[in-house]
Amino acid sequence: MQSHNPPDRARRLVTNRLHRGVYALLIGLALWMALWVWSFVGGGETNYLLFIVTGFIGTMVGLQLILMRVQRADKTADDDASALSFRDWSHGQFETERSRLSAAEAALLILLPIAAAAIGMMAFGIEFRIVERGG
């Protein structure tokens, strides 16, 4: 039986750049949240406020797209990191200001807040629709 040895730590990728898949997930979760925000559509001021919230979410998506573009335009030693698959990138190390994390852990810490907000908005939207129809 052959054992699987983890890659040599010295040869592991160390980067401070996010993989484009992390940016794609951030954008997807933001759009998912924007979709569920509109489940509260009603009359009067509600629609106006939903438009403002959607504008904030759109601004966040725009900033993520700009950050993706800046990452690609910046020619540094991490250029080979952008060509890696997400799986290979996630097995590397992510350099932060204070220490190094595994890239998978860093991606999870970055994605968790927006994922919680998107899933929470979906739950509230579903509950709102159920209560609205039932009562």
Question: Whole-angstrom Cα distance, residue 23 to residue 86?
Answer: 11
pLDDT along the chain (135 residues), means of 10: 49 83 92 91 84 92 85 55 82 91 94 96 93 82
Closest CA to 21 of 55, 71, 56: 71
Q: At what angle do helices 45-73 and 20-37 cross, to 10 degrees?
A: 170
pLDDT value at residue 132: 86
Q: At what angle do helices 20-37 and 103-134 cross, to 10 degrees?
A: 10
List Cβ neighbours of 23 (8 Å cut-off, separation of 6 or more): 64, 65, 67, 68
Q: Give the pLDDT confidence of 58-81 residue by residue, as tens digits.
A: 998 999 888 877 855 555 555 555
